[in-house]
Amino acid sequence: MTQPIPQSPRTDPAPQEAALIGVRNFRDVGGLPTTDGRRVKSGRLFRSGHLAHATESDAEFLGSLGLHTVFDFRNGADHALEGPDVELPGVLNVNIPLSDPADGSEFWKMVRGGELAQLRELLGEGKAAARMSRSYRTMIRTRTAEHSRVVHALAEDSVPALMHCAAGKDRAGLSIAVTLLALGVEREAIVADYLESNAPHNRYRVRRGSDAPEARAPEVMELLAPLFDARAPYLTTAFDAIDEEWGGVERYLAEGLGLAPETLDRLRDRLLD
């Protein structure tokens, strides 16, 4: 079941956002509060699902944002399924895969085409949610080089930036969360922003391999729900991994991501009011 979306922690209104047609889960993370009383600047950091199906009007809107860089966290399998992003003139597109193209390909093939009995075995009795939590912990622990690359780029010259994966929820959500931690944003505010991916207009459209009614039967959709929901425990277990592995955010930023104090200062000057 989809979780309720908490009230947004933003107090500053975000810029007017177009009604995007082919891009899901788009938003400006501006306005989120930091622990020292500052806020993320509007118009500097955006997140979304993939841009492969962006319409002409979508591309026009995205082009109006003045983006310097689009960070695409999809892998080869995602690109084969969805296609490349639309080209935005003058915008640097940086692909940083956050999962191996072959990792889980059979799993996702089963998800999209598997029969009910197979899905019960694969996803039932809490297995789907447990898989999601494990993947978040694994990304935090093993993808420090990729997350370091993103945050260093933002500190140097890559702003305004848009981060996306396929749904804009997991890989992009975790990369946004890491960036917001580096900015000193409150954890509760990071989780609240993450949970906005559950809004009906933001949710990823689940593709099943069959159009038969049984392919979208209530039990099938219930089994799939943990994979396509944004659930607070997924993100908080990533925070727990930071605390367990590095003893807290400060050491994670310094040792895990290799962020020097002067780099953090530049990052915060670029992205905070």
65-76 pLDDT per residue, tens: 999 999 999 998
Q: What is the mean pLDDT of residues 234-242?
A: 97
Residue bearing the bigger pLDDT, 231 or 220: 231
Q: Name the residue among 26, 78, 238, 260 with its Cα closest to residue 143.
A: 238
Q: What is the mean pLDDT of residues 132-161?
A: 97
| pLDDT given at position 100 | 65
Q: What is the mean pLDDT of residues 78-94?
A: 94
Q: Percentage of the chain with pLDDT > 90? A: 71
The CA-based angle 40-134-122, given to 5 degrees, is 130
| pLDDT given at position 203 | 74
Q: Name the residue among 132, 169, 164 with its Cα closest to residue 150.
A: 164
Q: How far apart are CA 64 and CA 66, in angstroms?
A: 6
| pLDDT given at position 211 | 54
Specify whether the CB–CB gap between 127 and 106 falls below 8 A: no
Q: Is residue 60 pLDDT above 50, yes or no?
A: yes
For residue 177 the two structure tokens come to: 């969360």
Q: How far apart are CA 194 and CA 176, in angstroms?
A: 9
Read off the pLDDT of residues 175-229 as tens digits, 9 standing for 90 and up: 999 999 999 999 999 999 999 999 877 776 665 455 544 555 788 889 989 998 9
DSSP category for residue 173? H
Task: Kindly give the interhelix angle for 127-142 and 116-123, rounded to the nearest 10 degrees.
Answer: 50
Q: Is residue 253 pLDDT above 50, yes or no?
A: yes
- Strand extents, DSSP E, 129-174: 161-164
Per-residue confidence band for 27, with pLDDT thresholds at 50, 70 and 90: very high
